[in-house]
Amino acid sequence: MSGNRIIHTPEEIVRIRRAAEVTAAVRDEIARLAHPGMTTFDLDQLAGSLITATGGISAFKNYHGYPGNICISVNDTVIHGIGTPEQIISENDIVSIDVGVNIDNAMGDTALTFGFKEPDKDTKRLLDGTRDALMDGIAAARCGAFVRDISAAVEKCARKHKLAIVRDYVGHGCGIKLHEAPEIPNYTGWGKGPRLEPGMVLCIEPMLNLGTDSVRLDRRDHWTVRTADGALSAHFEHMILITDNEPEILTWQKTM
């Protein structure tokens, strides 16, 4: 079980690399065009057109029945927020977008959180701390290390910034299917997991909160995950390729 992991072939990696690159470009274009006054539904529709223009399709739409093109998670929403015409984005909001594109039967999956104005001290700590936790997790993903080393690096950084770690959702292998083995928790205490080997493609995605780590699933839509205390949450996600030395960030673009 702990040795469960997928090693992609060079032919698959060509397609996965392309899917990740396309997904990152769409992510950055959505973030660039997002503005206060839009509804989250507008943003989802915009994402839908940008994804269609790539020649791919949303990797999320209809996934286990998910209704949106992307996930849009505002303020206390941690992940899996669904764009709706009633939700108007304000300049005081922080917005997380999580984008997945399926192109040529390969998957990209990447997320980031942003605001529109100079953040207050705690919001800045949340955004910077979550981004740093992702980058520390990536730095630990060296060939020969274990999945646990990624988790430990993310956890240590979250602690340093005094941010709470969401435990109910985790990162994952990715590439040909959206979610592949192994799981990548953002905390330790669960064993070592598999050893990292060249050809593994991993989504590392810390979800960190300013308040409690406990979260609630929306009882009406069964998707939206919010913090239990209503405090802010942030989410950053990159897809990386394990190589025979430093990991390669497949979803690297100028925004992050």
Asked if residue 109 binds ligand MF3 (CB under 6 A), the reply is yes
The bridge status of strand 201-204 relative to strand 207-209 is: unpaired
Asked if residue 100 binds ligand MF3 (CB under 6 A), the reply is yes
The Cα 142–Cα 195 span in angstroms is 10
Beta strands per DSSP E along 95-231: 95-103, 106-114, 164-165, 171-173, 180-184, 201-204, 207-209, 215-217, 225-227
Question: Kindly report the CA angle at 174 between 124 and 138, in degrees rounded to 5?
Answer: 40
The closest alpha carbon to 60, from 42, 41, 80, 76, belongs to 80
Residue selected from 5, 80, 148, 238 as contacting ligand MF3 according to rule CB under 6 A: 80
Asked if residue 8 binds ligand MF3 (CB under 6 A), the reply is no
Answer for the pair 73, 79: CB distance below 8 angstroms, yes or no: yes
Asked if residue 154 binds Co ion (CB under 5 A), the reply is no
Q: Return the range that interacts with Co ion (CB under 5 A); candidates 51-59, 86-94, 150-158, 199-207.
A: 199-207
Nearer to ligand MF3, 114 or 119 (CB): 114
Asked if residue 63 binds ligand MF3 (CB under 6 A), the reply is yes
Residue selected from 237, 240, 241, 251 as contacting ligand MF3 according to rule CB under 6 A: 237
Rounded to the nearest whole angstrom, what is the least distance from the CB of residue 202 to ligand MF3 in the complex? 11
Asked if residue 180 binds Co ion (CB under 5 A), the reply is no
The Cα 185–Cα 151 span in angstroms is 6
The closest alpha carbon to 71, from 191, 149, 178, 230, belongs to 178
Nearer to ligand MF3, 63 or 114 (CB): 63
**Binding footprint of ligand MF3, residue count (CB under 6 A):** 13
Nearer to ligand MF3, 97 or 140 (CB): 97
Rounded to the nearest whole angstrom, what is the least distance from the CB of residue 141 to ligand MF3 in the complex? 16
Asked if residue 109 binds Co ion (CB under 5 A), the reply is yes
- Contact positions with Co ion (CB under 5 A) in 210-249: 237
Asked if residue 66 binds ligand MF3 (CB under 6 A), the reply is yes
DSSP designation for 150? H
Q: Which residue has the tokens 């997945």?
A: 100
Nearer to ligand MF3, 42 or 237 (CB): 237
Residue selected from 152, 203, 240, 241 as contacting Co ion according to rule CB under 5 A: 203
The Cα 250–Cα 242 span in angstroms is 10
The Cα 190–Cα 130 span in angstroms is 22
> Which positions lie near Co ion, rule CB under 5 A?
98, 109, 111, 203, 237
> Which positions lie near ligand MF3, rule CB under 6 A?
60, 63-64, 66, 71, 80, 98, 100, 109, 172, 203, 205, 237
